Amino acid sequence: MTRTALIYHPIYLLHETFGHPEKKERLTAILDKIQSERLDVDFITPKPATVTQVSAIHGGRYLDQVKAICEHGGGYLDVDTILSKKSYDAALMAAGGALAAVDAVLGEYDSAFALVRPPGHHAMPNRGMGFCIFNNIAVAAKHAQARGLKKVLIVDWDVHHGNGTNDVFYSDPSVLYFSTHQYPHYPGTGRADEVGEDGAEGFTVNVPLPAGTGDAGYLMAYREILLPIANEFKPDIVLVSAGQDAHKDDPLGGMRLTSAGFGAVAGVVKEIANACCRCCVA
């Protein structure tokens, strides 16, 4: 029987954003749905990522900056990215949640979902932006490699391009980064000609999609572009930046992906994981 782990810690709700669209209700709504549907998942409580683990991606000066702002009661990293008193601790736990998800699928679980916040895929090595503080998925990829896995596939289906993840691994052929995203849209990156550099050309695959793209367009991108590339790459683990804002009902995005469409896209990713590695983390 397939076993799925769900990673969650209540400190994620203490990252206060004061009316911002990235708010704690994003998680509580999911938790309520899991309970009401009686979904068969095992809850795992993570530990915070260590400074050393986060420093595999982020510079020490940036970590000190985030910590200092939070110790002084909060503030802004940029116009979109709010810090409150508990945000530094929540961000370390969010990265820790991604690490726990990796550990779960390297253990007894077939898949894992890290229900964490603050999010991470816009976070650059020395800069937070786009609601993101630490790049959780990038920290998780480095952790997977530290545990002996050589090749990591990161799939990003958020409506926005994950510019932070893109940049972290832009010259690393051991990580294949694949992103579908609305274009043009925030943060303005993710053109099709952004493919990697310094010997890693072809290991960054950006698929910019026009506003209004729905289930058929997304599924075509995943079946006709991701699937053959991933099968050639043969990852040891699949990590997913599983932003849900490409959904047709999201008020800030412009895409038309339905819940069934998300399921179909996830099915392609699961097909890759089953064929190549059997390890899938979202």
By annotation, the residues acting in catalysis are 122
CA atoms within 13 A on the CB side of 142: 17
Q: Give residue for tokens 């630490």.
A: 134
Contact 178, 155 (CB under 8 A): yes
Contact 32, 115 (CB under 8 A): no
Burial class (CB in 10 A: 0-12, 13-18, 19+), 100: buried
Q: How many CB atoms lie within 10 A of CB 204?
A: 25
Between CA 255 and CA 159 the distance in angstroms is 7
Q: What DSSP state is assigned to residue 108?
A: T
Q: What angle do CA 199, 204, 210 make, to 5 degrees?
A: 150
